[in-house]
A = this chain, B = another copy of it.
Amino acid sequence: MTLRIGIIGCGGIGQEHARRLHVQLPGARVVALQDLRRDTALAFNEQAGLRARVHERMEDLIASPEVDAVLVASWGPAHEAQVLACIDAGKPVFCEKPLATTADGARRIVEAEVAAGRRLVQVGFMRRFDAGYRLLKQTVTSGAIGAPLLAHCAHRNPAVPDSYVGDMGITDTFIHEIDTLRWLLDDDYANVQVREGRKTRHAHAGLHDPLMVTLQTRGGVLIDTEIFVACRFGYDIQCQIVGETGAASLPEPMSVTLREGGRQGGAILMDWKRRFIEAYDVELAAWLADTAAGQVSGPTAWDGYLASATAEACIRARRSGAIEPLETMARPALYDPR
């Protein structure tokens, strides 16, 4: 059986996902495209040789009987309405981050899904599909380090564009740690705190960089994370979980050890796109398999909602300078662990 996919949003990430689904992975075809800028959709359709139908409106794509499932890769503010329309149509939907630009928006999606009575939404938190994070989770789950007590993380980027400002360190960058650590530790957050380190001279005027964010889980685990997006030296993702009897660290990406010019060591990736490129493949393959089986086992709308709510609490905490409690709606039974 081949899943017929409609893609909403034909920018960079939409194009990459389209190629993954259409060319690289078995079991899917991209049959429909939609983009606010119709020309973009038409040009991509032509250039990629998809022979997909290009719709004027996202509603038509979602409603089309030719489309079995939808992938949302439009810009963030459009996600909520598009995902709600998919739920309304009873169609499985893969939605890139963020699920919605506000926790309230994400809550509306959760409520719609609960009303629909089944999980239809997967959110694009690809780190859960990364081989390194999976090894780390296996190690933690195996009991090799005992019960987790602390986690130390870093999310470093060599540089960000001038359009990256304000709280984007939280909403665009730290959002990944928010979801990944919940999943790694199998625990929810109780409170959050944000502190500003000494600002690097390499951050532009509108950006305070680096930040230190501390999350505490309901179980008491403290998670500190360095967010440093103008670090210059590489795209460098670190995560160490400290447990009662040991500590386990996220594997470094594979690299050649070079001995040269009085130094020995390996490369740090400079380009974030390469860091999780294989995780995207695994993520979409898993989504295809789940969708074919009529289920969602990846990150759900509930995960998307909690990520948004946590990010909003972090922004509040940044303003207040205090440890802010995280208050969220009660988890609907639809999202009980299976």
Contacts and interface: CB of A to CB of B under 8 A. Distances in A.
A26 interface: yes
A136 B247 contact: no
Number of identical monomers bound together in the oligomeric complex: 4
Contacts of A146: 200, 232
Interface string A193-209: 00111111110000000
A242 B226 contact: yes
Interface in A245-280: 245-270
A266 B222 CA distance: 25
Contact of A256 (B139, B201, B233): B139
A135 interface: yes
A11 interface: no
A10 B248 CA distance: 41
B262 A268 contact: yes
A85 interface: no
A149 interface: yes
A197 B226 contact: no
Nearest 6 pairs of A and B residues by beta carbon: A265-B265, A198-B220, A246-B260, A251-B254, A247-B259, A197-B222
Contacts of A264: 234, 252, 265-268
Given A233-B261, A256-B251, A195 B214 contact: yes
Interface residues of A, number: 74
A160 to B, nearest CB: 15
Contacts of A16: none
8 contacts: A132-B256, A139-B256, A146-B232, A149-B200, A246-B259, A252-B254, A263-B263, A265-B265
A25 B256 CA distance: 28
A250 B257 CA distance: 7
Contacts of A260: 144-145, 233, 245-247
A150 B244 contact: no
Contacts of A231: 242, 245, 247
Contacts of A250: 256
